[in-house]
């Protein structure tokens, strides 16, 4: 009697599939960080050096790829918020989260859009963002109660202010990628309670020449 044995796919193919998925995710991570979420899967395939069919075999669409790329980032925000809420000093806890948010968003355009601009329901990401909101409310409420920030500051103000810093970071990135740190301090100083000491402005402002250079980069990008 002949027994027909159906073997599992060759290890080489499984290894290729894993390698291709890693290349796709890494390519998407780089493109999302540089150009935001408006990139296409064709762009990802080209950067990864694979065919578009390979991308679709690994991911059903761009939303699934976005969730894959940013799940760890959004999870990191949730952890940072919870760590800030547990900080023994209300002001330092708020500063800690604000700096975490600015640091990560100022260097990643796609993450900024995921956290601050999009109102979609990507699998997993919306749940984690919803986990963050009440924790930030607790961080802000504690800081207000301690008198270390102005009493009319709301949790939504924190996200709006981070968005402002992120926009400034994008404007200045071609000429001074660290400029956002100066305005992070300006913003935090602006919401402090009157009796609290202010943060030092350790990064100098843009010169007039740098402002014009930054403007020219924006104009050049719009013409492309």
| Residue that finishes a domain, picked among 38, 59, 80 | 59
More reliable by pLDDT, 122 or 105: 105
- Domain co-membership, 202 together with 98: yes
d(CA 140, CA 91): 9
In a domain, 4, yes or no: no
Instruction: Supply the pLDDT for residue 1.
Output: 47
Higher pLDDT, 161 or 198: 161
Q: What CATH code is carried by the domain that includes residue 35?
A: 1.10.10.60
pLDDT of 185 reads 93
CA-CA-CA-CA torsion for 156, 109, 69, 10, nearest 10 degrees?
170
pLDDT mean across residues, the chain? 84
Residues 6 or more apart in contact with residue 58 via CB below 8 angstroms: 17, 20, 21, 24
218 domain-assigned:
yes
55 and 66 share one domain:
no
Query: What are phi and psi for residue 21, nearest 5 degrees?
Result: -65, -40
Write out pLDDT tens, residues 45-83: 999 999 999 999 889 888 889 988 888 888 888 999 999
pTM of the model: 0.76
CATH number of residue 180's parent domain: 1.10.357.10
Region label for 49, one of left (φ > 0), alpha (ψ between -120 and 50) or beta (otherwise): left
How many Å separate Cα 175 from the centre of its chain? 21
In this prediction, residue 13 carries a pLDDT of 47
Looking at the fold, whether 185 and 136 belong to one and the same domain comes out as yes
Task: Quickly tell me which residue has 């950067």 as its tokens.
Answer: 47
Report percent pLDDT > 90 for the chain: 39
């Amino acid at each position: 009697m002949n027994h027909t044995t159906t073997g599992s796919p060759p290890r080489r193919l499984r290894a290729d599939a894993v390698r291709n998925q890693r290349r796709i995710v890494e390519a998407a991570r780089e493109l999302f960080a540089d150009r935001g979420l408006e990139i296409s899967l064709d762009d990802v395939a080209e950067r990864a050096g694979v065919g578009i069919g390979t991308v679709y075999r690994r991911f059903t669409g761009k939303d699934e790829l976005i969730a894959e790329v940013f799940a760890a980032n959004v999870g990191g925000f949730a952890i940072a918020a919870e760590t800030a809420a547990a900080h023994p000093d209300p002001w330092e806890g708020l500063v800690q989260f604000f700096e975490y948010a600015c640091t990560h968003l100022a260097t990643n355009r796609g993450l900024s859009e995921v956290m601050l601009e999009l109102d979609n329901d990507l699998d997993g990401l919306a749940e984690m963002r919803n986990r963050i909101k009440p924790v930030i409310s607790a961080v802000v409420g504690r800081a207000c109660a301690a008198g270390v920030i102005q009493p009319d500051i709301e949790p939504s103000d924190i996200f709006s202010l981070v968005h402002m810093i992120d926009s400034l970071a994008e404007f200045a990135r071609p000429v001074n990628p660290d400029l956002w740190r100066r305005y992070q301090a300006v913003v935090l100083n602006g919401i402090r309670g009157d009796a609290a000491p202010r943060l030092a402005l350790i990064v100098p402002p843009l010169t007039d020449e740098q402002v014009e250079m930054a403007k020219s980069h924006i104009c050049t990008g719009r013409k492309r």
